[in-house]
């Protein structure tokens, strides 16, 4: 007899790659939603159900423009591949959250404790009330970004992140306000309690145990020249830093040396899907336990129920958020959204959506910041792809 289907999976049929590729190709050219420019130069999508990949496609180009931006002749472009390596941008925050929650499991960090009890440099009006959990739920009152430009030493830049003041009038714990600073502080906390740099902790505690060889900070240091040429997806081509390919797009993360809790991790669709499977499976993947089941359950539970959300870019979003992951957000999850659906997006055009009821993991990685992030809104393509699935 065939094995029974996982609960909810019956509504997901085997998807021909052409079906999903057709949807993604639509956004390689100007669209109704983004009429002036393509949404992205290229994209990779992966869909798995109950741990089995049912669709994996790549469309467009990993590299289409040189600095300027100037469109390259077709012979000089680099085609997108299913194993192309992307700047994940804020999907880094999911990795940082997992690393911090590992410390919670090990008893070295208490989610209810004030951040300042671990990081004495975390000072300023109102910040004594900020707890570790608030960093992961974006309710700390910290602003989106930190000011680190012009600081000559690593110590000065880290001190500036910790000294970042709360948004004027913010009351810690009251309101969802997306904050990259919060996850940067969370990473500094991880470094403080482990005595190791974040990139080392990532390798030792997550990518190494899971066998994620294509995931890490600063890929130019661990990819061969051949792999860099064939597999790296480009981002900006109009920045003062020139064409960005293998160098973190986020300016603050770049100034921090390419390693930050908010951005800087590079990866493939297959490796990102493993992160989704890890959380879907209650903290284990192929026999390797990374987080306890109880911690994962807490991570995927809405900690912001009933709280208001402040997001000028998406005024209709809700505050629904777990510990390091967003919950039930149709603006990028489309019809895969639901009370238990979790995931995250990245500014460069990346996203992860996990629907536990269908045992489904959906990874969409695009290079929408190539050559210019302001050309198009990536959300319509995210929704269209989710709806196709």
pLDDT in tens, 130-147: 999 999 999 999 999 999
- Of the candidates 287, 186, 271, 196, the residue with the CA atom closest to the CA atom of residue 231: 271
Inform me whether the pLDDT recorded for 236 exceeds 50.
Answer: yes
Q: What percent of the chain has pLDDT over 90?
A: 92
In this prediction, residues 191-200 reach a mean pLDDT of 98
In this prediction, residues 22-49 reach a mean pLDDT of 97
In this prediction, residues 212-218 reach a mean pLDDT of 98
Domain layout of the chain by residue ranges: 14-96+199-388
Q: What is the pLDDT of residue 25?
A: 97
Fold of 14-96+199-388: Beta-lactamase (3.40.710)
Q: What is the pLDDT of residue 314?
A: 86
In this prediction, residues 35-61 reach a mean pLDDT of 97
Q: What percent of the chain has pLDDT over 70?
A: 96
Spatial neighbors of 35 by CB under 8 A, at least 6 apart, are: none
In this prediction, residues 287-313 reach a mean pLDDT of 96
Question: What is the average pLDDT value for the chain, to the nearest integer?
Answer: 95
Q: What is the pLDDT of residue 5?
A: 35
Q: Report how far apart the first and last C-alpha atoms of the chain are (Å, whole number).
A: 28
| Predicted confidence (pLDDT) per residue in 82-93, tens digit | 999 999 999 999
């Amino acid at each position: 007899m065939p094995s029974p289907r996982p609960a909810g999976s019956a509504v997901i049929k085997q998807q021909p790659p052409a079906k999903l590729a057709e949807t993604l190709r639509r956004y390689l050219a100007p669209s109704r939603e983004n009429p002036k420019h393509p949404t992205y130069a290229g994209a990779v999508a992966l869909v798995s159900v109950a741990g089995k990949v049912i669709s994996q496609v790549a469309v467009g180009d990993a590299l289409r423009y040189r600095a300027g931006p100037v469109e390259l002749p077709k012979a000089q472009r680099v085609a997108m591949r299913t194993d192309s390596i992307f700047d994940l941008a804020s999907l880094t925050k999911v990795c940082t959250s997992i690393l911090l929650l590992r410390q919670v499991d090990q008893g070295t960090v208490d989610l209810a404790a004030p951040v300042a009890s671990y990081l004495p440099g975390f000072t300023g009006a109102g910040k004594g009330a900020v707890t570790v959990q608030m960093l992961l739920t974006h309710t700390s009152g910290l602003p989106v970004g930190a000011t680190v430009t012009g600081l000559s030493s690593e110590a000065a830049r880290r001190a500036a992140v910790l000294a970042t003041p709360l948004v004027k009038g913010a009351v810690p714990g009251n309101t969802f306000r997306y904050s990259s600073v919060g996850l940067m502080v969370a990473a500094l906390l991880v470094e403080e309690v482990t005595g190791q740099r974040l990139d080392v902790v990532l390798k030792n505690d997550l990518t190494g145990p899971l066998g994620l060889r294509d995931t890490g900070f600063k890929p130019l240091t661990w990819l061969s020249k051949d792999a860099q040429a064939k597999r790296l997806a480009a981002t900006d081509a109009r920045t003062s830093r020139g064409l960005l390919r293998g160098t973190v797009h986020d300016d603050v993360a770049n100034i921090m040396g390419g390693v930050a809790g908010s951005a800087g991790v590079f990866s493939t669709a297959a490796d990102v899907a493993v992160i989704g499977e890890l959380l879907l499976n209650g903290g284990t993947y192929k026999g390797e336990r990374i987080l306890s089941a109880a911690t994962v359950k807490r991570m995927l539970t809405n900690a912001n129920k009933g709280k208001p959300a402040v997001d000028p870019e998406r005024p209709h979003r809700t505050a629904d958020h777990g510990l390091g992951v967003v919950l039930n957000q149709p603006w990028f999850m489309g019809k895969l959204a639901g009370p238990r659906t979790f995931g995250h997006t990245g500014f460069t055009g990346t996203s992860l959506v996990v629907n536990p009821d269908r045992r489904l993991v959906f990874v969409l990685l695009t290079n929408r910041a190539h050559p210019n992030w302001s050309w198009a809104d990536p959300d319509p393509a995210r929704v269209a792809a989710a709806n196709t699935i």
